[in-house]
Amino acid sequence: MASSDYVVVGVSQKTSSIDLRDQIFVEDAELPDVLAALRDRGFDEVMVVSTCDRVEFYGVAVDVERAVAAGRNLLELRMGKDVDTSSDAIFCLTGDAAARHVFAVAASLESLVVGEAEVLGQIKHAHAQAVDVGAVGAALELLMQQAYGAAKDIRTNTGIAEGPVSMATAAIKAAGSLFGSLENISALLIGPSEIGLLMVDHFQNVGLRRITVAAGNASRSAALARIVGGHSVTYDDIPNALIGADLVIGAAGLGRYMVTAEMLRRALRARRRRPVFVLDVAIPGDADPDIAMLEDAFLYDLDTLETIAQINRDMRDAAMQEAWRLVDKHLEVFQTGCAEREAVPVVKELRAHFEAVRDEIRASAPHASAEEVSRRLINRLLHEPFAALREAARDAGSDNAIALAARRMFALKDVYGETQMRGKVDLEAPESEDK
């Protein structure tokens, strides 16, 4: 496969609402059927990355247009009645742009919070699932291995991963100053987003044990609860869930307040003024800013956390630029590898052709000397290249790309004795085999 055969079709947090992504989310149980449908309709190899922030198909296809149509149609089918208003959320990339996107996603450059580590693990999981059902071949495997190399390079050689860790550390320090030990508190995660799961993971690493997850529907919430090892509720249950929550992590980003000041005021009353730490990491925010005015409520958002963590924006910008430079470096390596693999069949065909011509000459002159066989072989093999060079010379004049390619392939020297340089081509015809 050439690099032009790669395809990405999907929906992400940059193009869609979280409600839409919840609707088209691919559960593990249905993944084999989705992969089979994509392969039946146009993909030769394919994997499905379905997370809180994206539902994307990474694949390879001889008929790229057919694969793009297959991916788009499947997403539209999952959108159902909302397809007319939501189909613009679907993006399609092919060739080098598709490969570059996969590298960037693996390196978390396309994440809501750039530098978070969770997405790489999710991609590896999606890759393994596709391998298990036989949906990944050599071409897609090469793409994914290059993507993992790019992600490792970026995380190792840039400061891109420092931001999320610093923000999580700042949030944990602020919560710890309020509650002391985090082992005895209960948390409520609102919304299925990567940044929310990132924060939960960091809090669990320092002792958080009890966690409830709220999502738009019961099945999605239950799936998230299994990931974090907690309980599940829906968005409608948030007012009651707030009563038992010491830590509230808002990560839905639906464009409306999931926790209003009045909602939290009633919860505080039921909690008998036990404090609540509200960590709003959603974009746009989940928490009503008036919550900051409530006694016993402590509101922190992403801007506050960045200030606390003293993240240097100039340093982050420089890290981003370096990260994208590394993405392009790995893309160039990948393109070169694809081009080199494309040449392998040509070399095999040339070898088979040369051997066939040799065998034909031997058969036609079984008693000829080695010198005679060599002369006939050279003349026969030069016949078609000579014709092509003459035709190219007529069409291109002195700027003969085919002649230059021939010089390069066979390391020919021009009149100055330099290899692979522009120069006049000797168009003297090869001598006849019958001479």
Q: Does the residue 320 lie in any domain?
A: no
The Cα 355–Cα 368 span in angstroms is: 17
CB atoms within 10 A of CB 168: 25
Q: Which pLDDT score is estimated for 32? A: 96
Residue that terminates a domain, selected from 140, 159, 178? 159
Same domain, yes or no: 148 and 171? no
Same domain, yes or no: 214 and 298? yes
> How many domains does the chain divide into?
3
Residue that terminates a domain, selected from 124, 159, 194? 159
CATH of the domain at 195: 3.40.50.720
284 — phi, psi (to 5°)? -70, 165
Q: Does the residue 255 lie in any domain?
A: yes
CATH of the domain at 58: 3.30.460.30
The Cα 249–Cα 385 span in angstroms is: 70
The Cα 291–Cα 326 span in angstroms is: 42
- 177: domain range? 162-309
Amino acid identity at 348: K
Alpha helices of 300-312 — where are they, by DSSP H?
302-309
By C-alpha distance, which of 202, 183, 156 is closest to 309? 202
What radius of gyration, in Å, describes the C-alpha atoms of the chain?
Answer: 31
Q: Does the residue 348 lie in any domain?
A: no
DSSP string, 354-392: HHHHHHHHHHH-TT--HHHHHHHHHHHHHHHHHHHHHHH
CB atoms within 10 A of CB 376: 22
Q: Does the residue 393 lie in any domain?
A: yes
Same domain, yes or no: 302 and 375? no
Cis peptide before 284 (omega within 30 of 0): yes
Amino acid identity at 247: L
Same domain, yes or no: 15 and 107? yes
Residues ≥6 apart with Cβ < 8 Å to 299: 278, 280, 287, 289, 291, 292
- Residue recorded with tokens 């193009």: 15
Instruction: Indicate the pairing of strand 297-301 with strand 276-280.
Output: parallel
The Cα 305–Cα 282 span in angstroms is: 13
Strands of 176-258, DSSP E: 186-190, 210-215, 231-234, 247-250
Same domain, yes or no: 132 and 196? no
Q: Are 224 and 192 spatial neighbours (Cβ–Cβ below 8 Å)?
A: yes
Residue that terminates a domain, selected from 125, 159, 193? 159
Per-residue pLDDT of the chain (435 residues), as tens digits, is: 555 699 999 999 889 887 788 889 998 889 999 999 999 999 999 999 998 889 999 999 999 999 999 999 999 999 988 777 777 899 999 999 999 999 999 998 988 777 777 889 999 999 999 999 999 999 999 999 999 999 999 989 988 777 666 778 888 888 988 888 899 899 999 998 888 888 999 999 999 999 999 998 888 899 889 989 999 999 999 999 999 999 999 999 888 999 999 999 999 999 987 999 999 988 888 999 999 999 999 998 877 776 665 554 555 677 788 889 999 999 988 888 777 776 667 767 778 878 887 888 888 888 888 888 788 888 888 778 777 777 777 776 555 677 777 777 777 765 444 544 444 445 555 665 555
The Cα 243–Cα 229 span in angstroms is: 20
Same domain, yes or no: 73 and 203? no
This prediction has a pTM of 0.66
Q: Does the residue 291 lie in any domain?
A: yes
Q: Which pLDDT score is estimated for 425? A: 45
Same domain, yes or no: 185 and 85? no
Same domain, yes or no: 189 and 141? no
Q: Are 175 and 236 spatial neighbours (Cβ–Cβ below 8 Å)?
A: no
Same domain, yes or no: 172 and 150? no
CB atoms within 10 A of CB 178: 14
Same domain, yes or no: 18 and 134? yes
Q: Are 179 and 156 spatial neighbours (Cβ–Cβ below 8 Å)?
A: no
Same domain, yes or no: 130 and 192? no
For the purposes of burial, counting CB atoms within 10 Å of the CB of 244, is it exposed (0-12), middle (13-18) or buried (19 or more)?
middle
Please pick, among 8, 26, 35, 52, the residue that the annotation labels catalytic: 52
Both structure tokens of 99: 């490969």
Q: Does the residue 390 lie in any domain?
A: yes
Same domain, yes or no: 95 and 129? yes
Q: Does the residue 336 lie in any domain?
A: no
Q: Does the residue 350 lie in any domain?
A: no
382: left (phi over 0), alpha (psi -120 to 50) or beta: alpha
Q: Is residue 52 flagged as an active site residue?
A: yes
